[in-house]
Chains A and B, each alone.
Chain A
Amino acid sequence: MANLQVKYLGTEFENPTVLASGVLGVTAATWKSVVNSGAGGITTKSIWLNEHQGHPNPTIITTENWMMNAVGLPDAGLEKAKEEIALYSENKPAPLIASIVAGKKDEFAVIAEEVDKLDVDILEVNISCPNVEDELGLPFACVALDAKSVTEDVKKVAKNKPVIIKLSPNVTNVVEIANACAEGGADGFCLINTLGPGLAINLETRMPILANKVGGISGPAIKPLAVKIVSDVYQATKLPIIGTGGITTGADALEIMMAGATLVGIGTAVFYRGADVFRKVSKEMSDWCDKEGVKSVEELIGTAKV
């Protein structure tokens, strides 16, 4: 059996699959059950400083090829997150990546400083949320200067934990944003957040199906985009990456690792293949490695001849 263990920013993962932020991650009990289903690690739902209401339903629709969501990052805020993280720490079964989010620059530092003190292994900064102080309400992830300054602010206060930045694919040049974050001191990246937004219209009512009208696209349809962005950012920065976006099978996971990812985020595939998708993907990766004579998946990272 091939060795699936990987080391990411100083933390050992039993296998490269991690639960992507926002899917299933509401409670510590769920994180544990996802680890039981074979995940090598967990990413929390994005944590806000204060309670944050999501959008009304419908919030998630799918077809065979994609999922579109406008869940709207609902969260009960930092205090509840602290409770859940403490619960997870009792017999902690696998590493925990804390995703944090904010609508204003200074809030990122406040929440990062708090979460840095908790029993989490890595801070993931979700900067795909609109900056409420930006004139156009552009997400931080879409403006290189904003992405850089958020990274700097978080790095200043996160004294104990590595900081990775989760980037949006919805920009002209992701590498430019990634370079800006790298200059700001980012330790790694999670790539990519959802694509879009997209729009789906119901014919009979002629209305958008999602209550928020538009939503972020995930699932199999965005995989080629994720692979390309991982490859580009890996080449440009050489920083370690969690490759996320449409990963559904072991082959998908191996592909994005060859493009440059160290860990592989899985979200939407929970719908296509069930909560034990993590075990299935790991098994498929290990079978392929055995067949090809690969001793350890770690050897494959960034080996694609792009």
Chain B
Amino acid sequence: MNKEQLPIVVPIAKIEDENEIVKNFYFDISIGAKPGQFVMLWMPGVDEKPISVALDDGKQLVLTICSRGKATQEMAKMKVGDKLGIRGPFGTHFLTNEGETLALVGGGYGAAPLYFVAYEAAKQGCKIEFIEGARSEKHLVYMEKLKALENTNIHISTDDGSVGHKGYNTEVLKKVLEDTKVDKIMTCGPEIMMQKVGEIGEEAGVNTFVSIERYMKCGFGVCGQCVVDPLGIRTCVSGPVMNYKVAKMFDDFGQYHRDSVGKKEYFNPK
């Protein structure tokens, strides 16, 4: 890893709205990131947060950010030309090989890093079944960009049935696995969804890779904030992308994560 961990400061080159709360931020740099890796994004005077790389094509870097709390809401107010700091890339990545058939299952802004997977895999001649779930049609992200990719079938599910399958994207995944011989499943989104995807993949005998989000401060394996039980491994170094078989061994997986002081927070509080 790079022994110098100082942010590179660059202006925002372009901003796009994906939906009401999700935006794409473009920067005119490349950091050599691979799909699934993340950066630490410094918003001077606000905070610095982990954000997945949504595209790094050698010329531009794209980050897709969903407004949730204080820092990401501040991010949503940023304008073209505002200077932000970038450290990274960090962590493990999704690995694809030439000619594979992939099922990519995204929920929420998790579709963005999977778009990067599809973008690279399409160039490798992979066949891509892209399965995206959202609350309703207007919450979908990355539809236009996905349609422009070769060898990519898009499957949609919405909670309200406003478009595509009414229900969960995991139900769509089951159907896809029945109809198509898939080599690998890759998923990014809410952990409970990824847990379900992992179970379905395991049942079908397909290797499944998940992307684990834990509270991260340093991104390079020192602060210890991003560890999982009972293995004590650091998700910023050994993750975020992991085989479901490994994630399944965590006490945490689909159950809890830890906050900024290390306290457990359950996904479904009892």
Which residues on A are within 8 Å of B, measured CB to CB? 23-34, 45, 51-54, 56-64, 67, 71, 74-76, 80, 200, 202-205, 207, 209, 211, 268, 270-272, 274-275
Can you name the residue of chain B whose Cβ is closest to the Cβ of A275? B221
Once the chains bind, are A60 and B218 in contact (CB under 8 Å)?
Answer: yes
Once the chains bind, are A76 and B262 in contact (CB under 8 Å)?
Answer: yes
- The distance in angstroms between the C-alpha atoms of A52 and B261, with both chains bound, is 7
A-B contact pairs, 22 of them (CB 8 A): A23-B222, A24-B227, A26-B224, A26-B225, A27-B224, A29-B229, A30-B227, A34-B232, A45-B224, A51-B263, A58-B7, A61-B7, A62-B4, A62-B220, A63-B3, A67-B222, A76-B263, A202-B85, A205-B85, A268-B222, A270-B222, A271-B220
Distance of A72 from chain B, by nearest CB (Å) = 10
Once the chains bind, are B218 and A26 in contact (CB under 8 Å)?
Answer: no
- The distance in angstroms between the C-alpha atoms of A59 and B260, with both chains bound, is 12
Once the chains bind, are B222 and A75 in contact (CB under 8 Å)?
Answer: no
Once the chains bind, are B4 and A64 in contact (CB under 8 Å)?
Answer: yes
Once the chains bind, are A27 and B217 in contact (CB under 8 Å)?
Answer: no
Can you name the residue of chain B whose Cβ is closest to the Cβ of A211? B47
Once the chains bind, are A57 and B40 in contact (CB under 8 Å)?
Answer: yes
Q: Majority SS of interface residues in chain B?
A: loop
Residues of A within 8 A of B261 (CB): 51-54, 74-76
Residues of B within 8 A of A270 (CB): 221-222
Once the chains bind, are B260 and A204 in contact (CB under 8 Å)?
Answer: no
Q: B148 in the interface, Cβ–Cβ < 8 Å?
A: no
- The distance in angstroms between the C-alpha atoms of A205 and B48, with both chains bound, is 15
Once the chains bind, are B227 and A29 in contact (CB under 8 Å)?
Answer: yes
Residues of B within 8 A of A56 (CB): 47-48
Of listed A80, A203, A209, residue having the most chain B CB within 10 A: A209
Total inter-chain residue pairs, C-beta < 8 Å: 128
Which of B40, B231, B232, B260 touches A74 (beta carbons < 8 Å)? B260
Given A24-B222, A29-B227, A71-B223, A63 contacting B7 (CB threshold 8 A): no
> How many of chain B's residues have a CB under 8 angstroms from any CB in A?
36
Distance of A245 from chain B, by nearest CB (Å) = 16
Given A33-B231, A63-B3, A200-B6, A53 contacting B260 (CB threshold 8 A): yes
Once the chains bind, are B6 and A75 in contact (CB under 8 Å)?
Answer: no
Residues of A within 8 A of B224 (CB): 23-27, 30, 45
Distance of A44 from chain B, by nearest CB (Å) = 11
Can you name the residue of chain B whose Cβ is closest to the Cβ of A23? B222
Given A23-B224, A29-B229, A57-B48, A205 contacting B260 (CB threshold 8 A): no
Can you list the 8 inter-chain pairs with the closest CB atoms, starting with the nearest?
Answer: A33-B232, A29-B232, A57-B48, A24-B224, A204-B9, A30-B232, A26-B224, A58-B48
Once the chains bind, are A205 and B225 in contact (CB under 8 Å)?
Answer: no
Given A53-B260, A58-B42, A74-B260, A211 contacting B48 (CB threshold 8 A): yes
Once the chains bind, are B222 and A61 in contact (CB under 8 Å)?
Answer: no
